[in-house]
Amino acid sequence: MSQHTQALTEFLAALHYQQLPETVVSRTEDLFLDWLGSALASQGMHPIPLFERYAAKMGPGSGPAGILVNGQSSSAYFAALVNGASSHLVEQDDLHNSSVLHPATVVFPAVLAAAQDLGKSGRELIVAAVAGYEAGIRIGEFLGRSHYRIFHTTATVGTLAAAVGVGKLMGFNQQQFTHVLGTAGTQAAGLWEFLRDAADSKQLHTAKAAADGLLAAYMTADGLSGAKNILEGEQGLAAGMSSDANPSHLSQGLGERWALVETSFKFHASCRHTHPAADALLALLQQENLSAQDIASVTTRVHQGAIDVLGRVQVPQSVHQAKFSMGTVLGLIAVYGKAGLPEFHQYALTDSRVSDFRDKVSMLLDEEVDAAYPQRWLGRVEVTTLDGRTLQSSIDEPKGDPGNTLNRAELEDKFRRLLAFSGARTDEQATGLIGLVWDLRYLDDLTALTRITSLTGSAA
């Protein structure tokens, strides 16, 4: 095993609650609320009911772990599976920039299901989540941009992040963390190919990452051994799935740099790659007092990753695809001033003003933006107006980024809007959940987080 994997696994084994700065603890609670909202927002939306039915068919009829969208219960494996699927659907869950990893949607489903199964406390959940974030983000950075070009990092690395989180909950020592990385890493999968067809794989990816990671931890606890050098070995993850892996990322700043607090909240309901340009355009429209019909064309200057992920869809056929269409996102911004869930579902595919605007938008690779990525996601747009002016706008930190983050009031507002969007919980229930999450570090019993009855006092 290399010094970097060794250092990472030693850090994970030694990590404890008292070591966490207050900002890390409170940000974990923020991220957890944000995740909970994302999961509940997808209630009833395709393909989530398919995962619910699969869990009902293959799993036990009930169990110790809760399924958020329907308030039912199952074994930890199936709760992680369904909650992992549901929390990534509406594209409102968090993102870590430099790793291009969505940590919440893979870490929280696994650690919450395992914590409920094992009877762990909110404090233990927080430490477990931090372990999952810190490991997952560093492994994502380690695998680099070449990995993300083909592989959906949240799927692949997500499996390891989830496994580490559950392992922490189980009190793994350094050897067990090594094994669980091996067992999770050899299950790591997820290809971007589905984007081209707007296929349902994105939810499958996060579902499987959370559930497979949980499987890895449970089986490691029972004695399953894994490869000792799965990250850096000659036939390991980087050897097979990266051409620019950098092992030093694995141990970078352990215990000093808390990668979890670098995680961004999503403000717009679209793919994160569209946010810098959306914010830059929004700033320009407000500053110049322009509206959609004043614009002749928009050139967004972007990083290569944005072109790879967004470039293949010209005319979106589904709401999900619309979230990956730069033109549609900017069209919603230009016409409605925002690109939230309601705008996507009501207007993204049907409003001709949005589709007209979409056709005016192009993407251009920009050297400065590309060089800054993925550490910084710079927004650069160049707008030509119908009256012949050329205007430029730039933002260096999109809304929701660590330096431009959402405060608790904004997070509560987003949470309530997500729940109202799906109707998964009443506003009163939302209030109850918010209270529970802001008390997460003091909770001894985590069952109330997923049970609908516990909030209403009556059967759901």
Contact footprint for its own copies (CB under 8 A):
46-47, 50-51, 53-54, 57-61, 75-78, 149-151, 155, 179, 182-183, 185-201, 204-205, 208, 212, 215, 218-219, 222-230, 233-237, 239-241, 308
Nearest distance from C-beta of residue 441 to its own copies, angstroms: 29
Buried b (16+ CB within 10 A) or exposed e, 39-57: bbbbbebebbbebbeebbe
Whichever of 53 and 389 has its CB closer to its own copies, that residue is 53
Whichever of 98 and 186 has its CB closer to its own copies, that residue is 186
Whichever of 236 and 379 has its CB closer to its own copies, that residue is 236
Q: Which residues, 6 or more positions from 370, have their beta carbon under 8 angstroms from its beta carbon?
A: 302, 303, 304
Of 435, 424, 428, which is closest to residue 456 (Cα–Cα)? 428
Q: How far apart are the first and last CA of the chain?
A: 50
Nearest distance from C-beta of residue 86 to its own copies, angstroms: 14
Tell me the β-bridge partners of 390. Answer: 384
Identity of the residue numbered 371 = A
Nearest distance from C-beta of residue 68 to its own copies, angstroms: 18
- The CB-side HSE value for 119 (13 A sphere, CA atoms) comes to 0
Q: What three-state secondary structure class fits 149?
A: helix
Nearest distance from C-beta of residue 268 to its own copies, angstroms: 24
Separation of alpha carbons 160 and 320, rounded Å: 26
Whichever of 72 and 454 has its CB closer to its own copies, that residue is 72
Whichever of 225 and 291 has its CB closer to its own copies, that residue is 225
Nearest distance from C-beta of residue 368 to its own copies, angstroms: 26
Nearest distance from C-beta of residue 260 to its own copies, angstroms: 26
Check: CB of residue 108 under 8 Å from CB of residue 126: no
Whichever of 45 and 292 has its CB closer to its own copies, that residue is 45
Nearest distance from C-beta of residue 320 to its own copies, angstroms: 11
Of 164, 166, 73, which is closest to residue 112 (Cα–Cα)? 166
Separation of alpha carbons 41 and 417, rounded Å: 9
Nearest distance from C-beta of residue 105 to its own copies, angstroms: 16
Of 235, 7, 222, 34, which is closest to residue 134 (Cα–Cα)? 7
Whichever of 3 and 291 has its CB closer to its own copies, that residue is 3
Whichever of 218 and 357 has its CB closer to its own copies, that residue is 218
Whichever of 74 and 450 has its CB closer to its own copies, that residue is 74
Helix ranges restricted to H, 289-325? 304-310, 319-322
Residue whose token pair is 């609650």: 17
Nearest distance from C-beta of residue 70 to its own copies, angstroms: 16
> How many other CB atoms are there within 10 angstroms of residue 110's CB atom?
38
Nearest distance from C-beta of residue 157 to its own copies, angstroms: 12
Whichever of 46 and 257 has its CB closer to its own copies, that residue is 46
Burial grade of 297 (CB within 10 A; 0-12, 13-18, 19 or more):
middle
Any long-range contacts for 54-62 (C-beta under 8 Å, 24+ apart)?
54/81, 55/79, 55/81, 55/82
